[in-house]
Structure 1
Amino acid sequence: MSVKYEGFSAEERAAMKEHAREQKQAARRATRADKAEQAAQDVLAKIAEMDGADRASAERVHAVITASAPGLEPRLWYGMPAYALDGKVVCFFQSAAKFKARYATLGFNDPAKLDDGAMWPTAFALTEVTPEVEARIADLVTRAIA
């Protein structure tokens, strides 16, 4: 049985276009301080665009990450709020609406130092950001940049 390649979904193509726009905007900014300040504002604006539960979760995740790891710089990454160290995205928040998923996701990229043996999680489903979840996020982010 032959499986036909359908290509990227509309959501995936939109994310790639958003990433290209983000890169162009960042390149136009004058200084490193200007870039960092504008990138942080871009993240807050992206969070403000989200609906309901996604927005509430993204606001809490943003607050926890910026408080727990002030060395991480907020920026957009494929249209998602992300947090970078030395220019490399360590973690990101993906809203449920982004790819029409049933839950939001907190993801970690390979610069995150979460290694635990031969296998460890790099993404976490978020259905609600409770105080316990906030504590877990703070711990993960702190370990990720240790």
Structure 2
Amino acid sequence: MSSTNSSGYEGFTAEERAAMKEHARELKTSARRGSRADKAAQAVQDVLAKIAEMPEPDRVMAERVHAVVTANAPTLAPKLWYGMPAYALDGKVVCFFQSAEKFKSRYATLGFSDQAKLDEGTMWASAFALTEVTAAVEARIAALVKQAVG
């Protein structure tokens, strides 16, 4: 097999490397912050600032996802996770919003970690493509995050 075969593993993409560096910065910043309340308040501000940086339509969708998650699952704490808005329970990420722009994808993603209680039989969805956040989509997100922490 030739070493120039383009179908082989070529390492992380530039976007993936940037996300890992961003995560390392997030961990360092969190470790330097003061009390638990200070950390929580600053984490919310960090998430809102990250959302504000997003280009449209990602920003609009992220704002709606943030509002729906915080209203329907108040036990989830907003935080940055690999440079993305995420929502954690006891420090462990349950769900996150990934903008389309982040990894040059054609759609944004609402993803759930293995911490989310979405289990349905032997197979279930753990990520959802988003192209627009309508009232129906908001209702589906609300139901998912309630189930995820249920």
TM-score by length of 1: 0.98
Q: 1:10 deviation in Å? A: 0.2
Tell me the residue number matched to 2:123: 119
- In 2, Cα distance between equivalents of 1:126 and 1:11: 20
Q: Which runs of 5+ in 1 are unaligned?
A: none
Out of 61, 67, 79, the residue aligned to residue 63 of structure 1 is 67
The answer to whether 1:18 aligns with 2:26 is no
Q: 1:4 deviation in Å? A: 3.4
Instruction: Compare CA radii of gyration and give the structure with the larger one.
Output: 2
TM-score by length of 2: 0.96
Percent same amino acid at aligned positions?
A: 76
Q: Deviations over 1:21-52 (max 9, x none)?
A: 00000000011000000000000000000001
Out of 21, 30, 34, the residue aligned to residue 34 of structure 2 is 30
- In 2, Cα distance between equivalents of 1:35 and 1:119: 36
User: Which residues in structure 2 correspond to 1:126-145 (within 5 Å)?
Assistant: 126-145=130-149
Q: Deviations over 1:52-93 (max 9, x none)?
A: 100000000000000001110000000000000000000000
Alignment-mate amino acid for residue 114 of structure 1: L
The answer to whether 1:84 aligns with 2:77 is no
Tell me the residue number matched to 2:77: 73
Q: Which runs of 4+ in 1 moved over 6 A?
A: none
The root-mean-square deviation of aligned C-alpha atoms, in Å, is: 0.8
Aligned positions, number: 146
- In 1, Cα distance between equivalents of 2:60 and 2:111: 17
